[in-house]
Structure 1
Amino acid sequence: MQVIVQKFGGTSVQSEESRKHVIKHIRQALTKDKDSKVVVVVSALGRKPKPYATDSLLQLVDYPTNYNSKRELDLLMSCGETIASVVLSNELKKHNISSMALTGAQAGIVTNNEFNHAKINHINQDRIFKEFKDFDVIVVAGFQGQTEDGEITTIGRGGSDTTATALGVALQAKRVEIFTDVNGIMTADPRVVKNAKPLNVITYDEISHLAYHGAKVIHPRAVEFAMQAKIPLRIRSTYEEDGGTIVTSGKSYQRKRPLNDRVVTGIAHQSELTQIRIQTKEEAYRLQSEVFKAMADAGISVDFINISSTEVNYTIPQHVTTKAVEILNELGFYPEVLKECAKVSVVGAGMTGIPGVASKIVQSLTDADIQILQSADSFTTIWVLIYEKDLFKAVNSLHDAFELSKVNYIKQDFVIER
């Protein structure tokens, strides 16, 4: 017996019409792969204002000004995926596909006790394998699990992606397929770049960086699970038969062109950021330690960190700017604050050791009359902070500079080494 894991997002399961496409993909997995069983992970039905979407459920308690504990909020937020699992299981049976619905807890997902943002500690796969004796499909509610002492938890935004890849690892799946409303990974957000192109193949490292820096097709934690176990991952559209993007370790090759021949793979972006700059002439070590500890204690996520002996620069989500400044003022630090910023990231596994990539980024933005406020780089990513008003122009300029619109999407087979 071999296991295939499929994950379907909220828009894929929101209506009876969309679920017909879901059922078709499930049936194909059962028939095309000999002696196969399928685990289907589902998100809540639709998005707000759909009544069972997670954000709609939170409105029932006037979130975020509610009086519930985080534990109680997890009880509420887990309902959407549970409902979706039962609805889909019912329709599978209607189409003569034997199935059973399980909550995340029943599927053996054990997390820590960090309510609303729990981390998966381990998965007990015994229940799923037991049910496979009687059912071909197990529909698992994504985004949720339980602690060792039985408390229901949710695992944060993108949690259904993480559920799917974690189950894929635990069940030693043949592959994990993430179904969404776009046909795989694009060279840039098609809402920003009209000539963005789909990618046949991408490395785990590249997609992880794209996800961390703003691409929303898959959650970066989900990629990490797949990468660690080298589980083959495919991201594809619910509404198409073929296509999609294969995610690989980099040992997979297209038949006509090696994967690492591509210097830049894609452009990602994040908006609504604030840059915080704090300068000091004395006790720089105190500045560095106290600032980041204070942000962490307040639950404020920091990014794009540049540290020198006399100053610290970093970015935060714009909506927490007032809170962050108040905390810093209480510590005796009076930051320079620059709102309405955006981060643009150029990602490519092939850029490592290749001269001229940073130069091309700077030249492209300079030619477009775009000011760079801050920059940083890693082996596979170079990112810059700019004014948000320049975001559209910057992403398009960089997409053109690296000729990403010339990417040719070819439907073909891939050799995937685990």
Structure 2
Amino acid sequence: MRIIVQKFGGTSLSTSQAKERVIQHIKRERDNGYAVVVVVSAIGRRGEPYATDTLLDQLQPYGDYIDLKERDMLLSCGEIISATLIGAQIRAAGIPAVVLSGAEAGIETDDDFGSAKITAITPERIIQHLNKGKVVVVTGFQGKTKQGAVTTLGRGGSDTSATALGAALHAEIVDIYTDVNGVLTADPKLVSDAKPISKVSYAEICHMAREGAKVVHPRAVEIAQQARIPVRVRSTFSDDEGTLVQDATWEHNEHAVLDRHVTGIAYALGITQLHVSGTDKQLHDPQLIFETLAQHDISVDFINVSASHSLFTVQAQQDQLAYTLLTERELAVTLNRECAKISIIGGGMNGQPGVMARIVAALTKEGIAILQSADSNAAIWVLVKEEQMAKALTSLHSTFDLNR
């Protein structure tokens, strides 16, 4: 049996026109010979009645009285509503279908309510229905503990449900449907000549997702990579195949010829750079610095440590707390607020000389200072001021011929 998993996000289910497109995608894959499993998110976004954030907002007035287990019971309602409605619409279109909750689909998790991790999937019930020719609609974002309590999987949970089910069912492919036609080389709101990307590696899409290109959750991609299942990021409103995510075999082939080494550019805002050094009363002590921040759940990035100082970044909403904690330890702290992290991403950069030189040349030409930099096998990151970010994105996009 050839199985395909189709995941539809909230915007794909928010209007009658969108839901009709969902039905068309299901029909097409059935006509192509696939047994179809559909995973759905809650309908719409914050402000719409059944969106996850709207449900979460209902609890905010109760503060410390919120029980995490009961909160997950509430948050799971959005997917139950959307699955029930789309299941009925599928049957109305003449296609046999059945709706299963995450628990009924065999998704078992730990008991970390609000951010549960999938520990096992027993998909026998899904397979039984597929063997009867039914489309199986599964509520995304949720599962159950061994004790039967409802859990939710945290941000991107429906993407995670889809790829985890794809792995458990040995699906041929997982399609993630959104309101954009795949992954673009850059944010089109900031880079006018951003282009669609036809194919990326798992590593590249994970970098893009973590650094701002939020079309698929990195946790979902990691599950697909482990199971070696291709993922397509597609638009609900188009029949185009979007962006294919799969193993980049050329990464392991030293004779492969690449016409470009950079695949895309992403960014993150709201970052503060900290310069921390010793004083007459307290020597520069990196262990003291990072243990202090860790004890208060402050995550750090862009870390450079030398004998005289430490340089790193934190999220802007935590910079005042970080400043206070470190100055209380009698360390000298300087804040550089309103910074942006730009990610130049591409599996083909690994081992290629001259990439950083081109980045520096492009930004220098535009008068943009690089405040810090870091790199990995598939990405180079540079820190710049927020006010220069848009110019930096456009310059780098052109430098690496991503507009072709």
With normalisation by structure 2, the TM-score equals: 0.92
Q: 2: CA distance between counterparts of 1:215 and 1:63?
A: 32
- Cα deviation, 1:44-102, whole Å, max 9, x if unaligned, reads 10112111111111121226946313322222222111211111111111111111112
Q: Residues 4-403 of structure 1 correspond to what in structure 2 (within 5 A)?
A: 4-33=4-33, 36-62=34-60, 65=63, 67-134=65-132, 136-251=134-249, 260-280=258-278, 287-288=286-287, 290-403=288-401
AA of the residue aligned to 2:99: A
Flag the 1:367–1:44 CA change in 2: closer, same or farther, 3 A: same
Q: 2:2 maps to what in 1? A: 2
8 Å contact 2:286–2:305 — kept in the other structure?
A: no
Which amino acid is 2:375 matched to? D
Distance, in Å, in 2 between the alignment partners of 1:198 and 1:370 is: 27
Instruction: State percent identity of aligned pairs.
Output: 46
Distance 1:89 1:358, change over 3 A: same
Q: Is the 8 A contact 2:232 2:241 kept in 1?
A: no
Q: Residues 306 and 240 (structure 1 numbering): CA distance in 2 closer, same or farther, change over 3 Å?
A: same
Q: Distance between the aligned counterparts of 1:238 and 1:32, measured in 2? A: 18
Q: CA deviation at 1:193?
A: 0.6
Which amino acid in structure 2 is aligned with residue 376 of structure 1? A
CA-to-aligned-CA distance 1:336-364 (integer Å, 9 cap, x gap): 22221110010111111111110111111
Identify if the C-alpha distance between structure 1 residues 74 and 247 changes in structure 2 by more than 3 Å, giving closer, same or farther.
same
The change in CA–CA distance for 1:316 and 1:81 in structure 2 (over 3 A counts) is farther
Q: Secondary structure at the match of 1:61?
A: helix
Partners of 1:201 and 1:259 within 8 A in 2 = no
The one-letter amino acid of 1:25's match is H
User: Separation in 2 of the partners of 1:215 and 1:259?
Assistant: 27
Taking the aligned partners of 1:191 and 1:360, their CA distance within structure 2 comes to 24
Could you tell me how far apart the structure 2 residues matched to 1:210 and 1:323 are? 29
User: Counterpart amino acid of 2:299?
Assistant: S
1:96 partner letter: G
How big is the alpha-carbon RMSD for the aligned residues of Structure 1 and Structure 2? 2.1
C-alpha spacing 1:278/1:9, structure 2 compared with 1 (3 Å): same
Change (3 A) 1:61 1:167: same
Letter in 2 for 1:358: M
Q: Matched residues in 2 for 1:259 and 1:14: separation?
A: 44
Aligned residues: 398
| Maintained 8 Å contact 1:100/1:135 | no
Q: Which amino acid aligns with 1:173?
A: A
Deviation at 1:146, TM superposition (A): 1.9
